[in-house]
Chains A and B, each alone.
Chain A
């Protein structure tokens, strides 16, 4: 991996169970965890929340209430 990386410690038994369950899809624990973290930190949903909040704020400002 060429990007900056961080080392973390995880219980061996947990890693072994993850490898048992998902080993056929992911090469190793790093690949599995990278996939999971990428998925749970996707922020396209939150970006829509933020833009919708801004739209309502803008509308209330238009009406002179903010």
Chain B
């Protein structure tokens, strides 16, 4: 009998409370809900960092995102990952990444894969939606804008008029949802994965699929919108995406369109569910399903104004961003098991490897929880989440070398340390799931200290026990890229 195979599906921006198997009322995930009935489901799976570039080092390499230094991005050359471990063990390995620029060979994510497809060639350069911020204003417009921006009132008036003007112009164009989408939809990615599976024969395999359908701009297939009972024209979707992307606009005005934007986001999730169903059915037809471990999770969630923010910028570590679905389906798990203990995705890689009988790397910072998952006995170990506050573009060093944001997330209590203003806030998620009111400094003193001690130990370990070899390799890779780019720019 072959060694078990591993399928890891990661979904960009998928927050835990928008999947049916974790209680969402809208039927976004009918297939995964049925799969959850025979899987281990973690209702408090917590990412180790957010967004993508701070989350994936933990998912793929079981390493905290800032452990090699906050000036390092991605997986270091030679760093062990799920893929390198299984490739060395003789597995066929492939990754199908739906056009996320941070999950590419530039950042080391291709290591260990026989076949790595990032779909970046299929991604359009610029969003085609219309808005004053991403349109191409004429010289006249630029002059008017410059004059108008002399006062906030005239500046706002200009932005409003220009936005409306753009909307009127694009309303005449009849562009399909498929043309507006910036990432390959799940069916395209799954098609390629199925073609690869057809070629590998009976070998055990590791297949990583990263799907972007719930990522903004939100342009789900019309079929998905119709299936959820929220049909929408591409013109309307285009308007909503443009409005949602506007800068310097009040939350009150954005809130007016929130439900429609969420309908678009949810339809993206539904499409993921449909395509995952297709993948699983194909594996069943090939008689590979019963010899495979299947895991589905996300790199981070998405915000819809819960705290005034949109998308998934690393300016906070609220629950909509850090709590993600995690579902593990394994042949030996005959019945459903649901745990609400915190589970850090730092432990995912060693747990998955252990579950299929492969050895996790000694360099992993996480450890296997497989025996505990099997016994449905997860301990109450808090999960640590970290990111660089406000690092929206990790390609820029000045964006990376800024203060850390850190959360220590227990089952019900969550400590958030903001090093920019040297504050720590404790939240009781049972009484205040929306994290609107930090507890007073006198509440839960012992628990506060315990979580602070965990934070302190984490920060100390991060730089005092840093893997110098991996850090230098990653830095040198960055330098090579920078120098090559400079050389190519200076060539005639």
Q: A60 CA to B417 CA in the complex, in Å?
A: 13
A49-B463, A55-B422, A65-B449 in contact; A24/B71 too (CB < 8 A)?
Answer: no
Residues of A within 8 A of B422 (CB): 55
What residues of chain A have their CB less than 8 Å away from a CB belonging to chain B? Answer: 22, 24-25, 35-36, 39-40, 42, 44-46, 48-53, 55-57, 59-60, 63, 65
Residues of A within 8 A of B479 (CB): 35-36, 39-40
| A39 touching B403, Cβ below 8 Å | no
| A56 touching B483, Cβ below 8 Å | no
Q: A27 CA to B456 CA in the complex, in Å?
A: 45
| Chain A CB within 8 A of B404 CB | yes
Minimum CB–CB distance for A35 against chain B, Å: 8
A22-B487, A48-B404, A49-B462 in contact; A36/B476 too (CB < 8 A)?
Answer: yes
Q: A44 CA to B490 CA in the complex, in Å?
A: 29
Chain A residue nearest in CB terms to B69: A45
Residues of B within 8 A of A44 (CB): 71, 401
When the two chains form the complex, which single residue of B401, B419, B449, B490 contacts A55, counting CB atoms closer than 8 Å? B419
When the two chains form the complex, which single residue of A22, A36, A48, A59 contacts B70, counting CB atoms closer than 8 Å? A48
User: How many positions in chain B have a CB within 8 Å of any CB in the partner chain?
Assistant: 32
Minimum CB–CB distance for B237 against chain A, Å: 41
| A63 touching B71, Cβ below 8 Å | no
| A24 touching B445, Cβ below 8 Å | no
Chain B residue nearest in CB terms to A47: B401
When the two chains form the complex, which single residue of B400, B402, B476, B491 contacts A40, counting CB atoms closer than 8 Å? B476
| Chain A CB within 8 A of B295 CB | no
| A63 touching B445, Cβ below 8 Å | yes
Given contacts A46-B69, A53-B459, A60-B456, 6 further A-B contacts (CB under 8 A): A40-B472, A44-B71, A53-B460, A55-B419, A56-B417, A63-B445
| B459 touching A49, Cβ below 8 Å | yes
| B424 touching A39, Cβ below 8 Å | no
| A52 touching B459, Cβ below 8 Å | yes
Residues of B within 8 A of A22 (CB): 483, 487
Minimum CB–CB distance for B470 against chain A, Å: 12
| Chain A CB within 8 A of B228 CB | no
Residues of B within 8 A of A57 (CB): 456
Residues of A within 8 A of B262 (CB): none
Q: A65 CA to B445 CA in the complex, in Å?
A: 11
Interface residues of B in 366-420 (CB under 8 A from A): 400-404, 417, 419
| Chain A CB within 8 A of B358 CB | no
| Chain A CB within 8 A of B448 CB | yes
Residues of A within 8 A of B462 (CB): 49
Q: A53 CA to B460 CA in the complex, in Å?
A: 6
Q: A45 CA to B490 CA in the complex, in Å?
A: 30
| Chain A CB within 8 A of B192 CB | no
Q: A48 CA to B463 CA in the complex, in Å?
A: 10
| B459 touching A60, Cβ below 8 Å | no
